[in-house]
Amino acid sequence: MISEKLRKAREYEQQYAPYVLPESRPAYHLTPMIGWMNDPNGFSCYKGEYHLFYQYYPYSVQWGSMHWGHAVSRDLIRWEYLPCALAPDQPYDNGGCFSGSAIELPDGQHLLLYTGVRCQTAEDGIRQEVQTQCVAIGDGIDYEKLDCNPVLDAANLPEGGSPFDFRDPKLWREEDGSYTCIVGNRPADGSGSLLIYRSEDAIHWTFDTVLDECHNEFGKMWECPDFFPLDGKWVILTSPQDMTPSGLEFHNGNGTLCLIGSYDEGTHTFQREELQSIDYGLDFYATQTLLAPDGRRIMVAWMQNWDTCVVVNREQRWYGQMCIPRELAVREGKLIQNPVRELEAYRGRRVFHRVTVCQEMTLQGVYGRMVDMTITLHPVENDIYQLFKLKVARGSQHDTTITYKPRTSVLCINRSNAGFRRDFVHERKCLVRRQNGELKLRILLDRFSIEIFVNDGEQALSTTIYTPLTADGISFECFGQVLAEVEKYDLIVEQSDSTATGEPVRFHQSVNEPQ
Ligand code: FRU
């Protein structure tokens, strides 16, 4: 049975999404069908396809009462929109269907575990938002919320836990067929903690343990947690709010945190060994992973950040994009991320140059805004250059500059000239591995973003740019001299659906039937 709110959202999508022209969107980064998108949700394999839901407000390009948008893909690059999956239509989620995850059940159904936000007014008149975890089960298009919702509420919190910050459940199936989920919470010290719950059926849950706690050290509340084994280690990913900077590792505001360590499955204790940011760019938050059928651990994230989403072009009918899905690994205590290999199937014309760069130069055939380019820098003899400078999305008035100083090992991205007219953060620096001026950068450009993968995935930096698409120049410069190998492919991705070409999205007939 489709509620009035969900019907309204689906009708709005059908009516207005065809006006969102494909050229107004990124070519291979997922954007909302229409309106606003934040966190990835329910990233899962279901019946042989990848499903990716997202925090969604179809009616505006700003955050509003949260629905779940929905898209499906066979290769994580080309996405087809499905109708809005969840609307905030129940007393326990009238304040929004917040982030959560999904899994295919043994009986072939698709289960969504999400945070229901209930608005209530306390005795003193203060408005409160109570957060609980809820389940909806469906067939990959339509989902039914369970009568027994919420399945986790204040009664399931450890002592001191806050029912007002209790969100973003991520669930997975254990080898024995039981289920585990991890949920973010705010304990008595006002910062963040990660709670583990266990279940036999993914519906009835019991509290197990506090996996890790912030203790006011890495920001405050820890949002969107994830926890999985990888390459002999265990990895926690989370997105802390209200961080303070720590060198070039963590920046102010909403950040990301990766904890790598060991896990004693008998006593359910996690022992931290290493920690780092997940992404060192300007726009990245709220990661979620899935385990692909071929064993790859694949991560997506919102390629935006609450602190950087202050500029919305009102003529644009969508806002928010996902990063390129990334294959994860752990190598020498570090999280390694690289674009999913499926992207390589979309490489078009190849251009290669091996050139000594000193003063500013352009290279024949090296330009574009939908590009997969790898630049490898080698110092010339033992002469360490002072600065390497790369400009992308360059036009007569615009550019985004990436610089590298081998003496300090600082890589910097600066989008001050990308065309933004607001004074929010436009520059981010990070420390890369010190290696005497050798550096490898793989750079993905889509129409409105830049993602940089450093030294085969040792670090990633993601940044949005809304520079006019006519600014498609790329230039190279060096203070000193450096030998650069530049391999560049155009990326040619035509989205399969598309609502904008008049093809209907996959709606069940019931959408148009009277209730
Ligand atoms: C993270 C977040 C989540 C929450 C959702 C609401 O970006 O704040 O904690 O579930 O966004 O849209």
Render 168-230 in DSSP notation, one character per residue: EEEEEE-TTS-EEEEEEE--TTSS-EEEEEEESSSSSEEEEEEEEE-TTSS-SSEEEEEEEEE
Longest dimension (CA), the chain: 76
Residue 4 in 3-state DSSP? helix
Residue 342, φ and ψ in degrees, nearest 5: -60, -25
E strand or H helix that includes residue 8: helix 4-16
CA 161, 258, 239, 150 torsion-angle sign = negative
3-state helix, strand, coil in the chain (%, to 5): 5, 50, 45
Point out the ligand 1 atom lying closest to the alpha carbon of residue 39: 7
Q: Are the C-beta atoms of 307 and 425 separated by less than 8 Å?
A: yes
236-270 pLDDT, tens digit each: 999 999 999 999 999 999 999 999 999 998 888 99
Share of the chain above pLDDT 70, in %: 96
- Does the structure show a pLDDT above 70 at 513? no
Residue 66: CB within 6 Å of ligand 1?
A: yes
CA angle 274, 279, 280 (to 5 degrees): 100
The CB of 391 under 6 Å from ligand 1? The reply is: no
Short-list 481, 485, 474, CA closest to 374: 485
Mean pLDDT to the nearest integer, 342-366 = 97
**Alpha-carbon span 85 to 112, nearest angstrom:** 10
Higher local confidence (pLDDT), 375 or 497: 375
Query: Please, what is the Cα angle at 132 between 147 and 97, to 5 degrees?
Result: 80
Give SS3 for 7.
helix
Cis before residue 22, ω within 30 degrees of 0?
no
Q: Which of 36, 37, 55 to mutate to test the pocket of ligand 1 (most atoms within 8 A of CB)?
A: 55
Q: Which atom of ligand 1 is nearest to the CA of 55?
A: 12
**CA of 152: how far to CAs of 131, 202, 277, 362, 394, in Å?**
9, 11, 30, 58, 51
From the list 447, 489, 479, 459, the residue with the least C-alpha distance to 349 is: 489
The answer to whether the CB of 497 is under 6 A from ligand 1 is no
Q: Supply the DSSP symbol for 420.
A: -
For residue 223 and ligand 1, the question of a CB distance below 6 A is answered with yes
pLDDT of residue 311: 73
Round the average pLDDT of the chain to a whole number and report it.
94
**pLDDT higher than 50, residue 377:** yes
What are the tens digits of pLDDT across the range 139-194?
999 999 999 999 999 999 999 999 999 999 999 999 999 999 999 999 999 999 99
pLDDT of residue 502: 41
Q: Residue 23 above 50 pLDDT?
A: yes
pLDDT at 505: 52
Q: Annotated catalytic, 39?
A: yes
Q: At 484, give phi and psi (nearest 5°).
A: -115, 130
Question: What is the reported pLDDT for 436?
Answer: 87
Point out the catalytic residue in the list 39, 89, 165, 490: 39
Rg (CA), the chain: 23
- Mean per-residue pLDDT for 478-496? 93
Tokens describing residue 2:
């489709």
Count the residues in the chain. 515
CA dihedral 2, 71, 221, 237 (to 10 degrees): 140
> For 14-33, what is the mean pLDDT?
95
Q: 98 in ligand 1 pocket by Cβ < 6 Å? A: yes
Task: Return the closest-CA partner of residue 209 out of 243, 166, 158, 167.
Answer: 158
**Structure confidence by residue, pLDDT tens digits, 389-421:** 999 999 999 999 999 999 999 999 999 999 998
Sign of the CA dihedral with 418 first, then 419, 420, and 421 last: positive
DSSP 8-state secondary structure symbol assigned to residue 504 = P
Pocket test for ligand 1, best of 168, 220, 256 (most atoms within 8 A of CB): 168
Percent of the chain with pLDDT strictly greater than 90: 90
Q: Which atom of ligand 1 is nearest to the CA of 254?
A: 7
Residues 6+ apart with CB under 8 A from 267: none
CB crowding 305-326: b at 16 or more within 10 Å, else e: bbbbbeeeeeeebbbbbbbbbb
**CA 10–ligand 1 middle distance (angstroms):** 22
Q: What is the pLDDT of residue 506?
A: 53
Tokens encoding 93: 């989620």
Alpha-carbon gap, residue 377 to 357, rounded angstroms: 10
Per-residue tokens: 445: 């450009």
Predicted local distance difference test score (pLDDT) of residue 494: 84
416: tokens are 């001050």
Tokens of 180: 């585990």
d(CA 401, CA 413): 6
The CA distances from residue 105 to 48, 53, 172, 513, in Å, are 13, 17, 11, 29
pLDDT computed for residue 496 by the predictor? 61
Give the DSSP letter string of 103-142: EE-TTS-EEEEEEEEEEEE-TTS-EEEEEEEEEEEESSS-
Residue 66 forms beta bridges with which residues? none
CA distances from 497 to 38, 82, 480, 501 (A): 21, 10, 49, 8
CA atoms within 13 A on the CB side of 15: 10
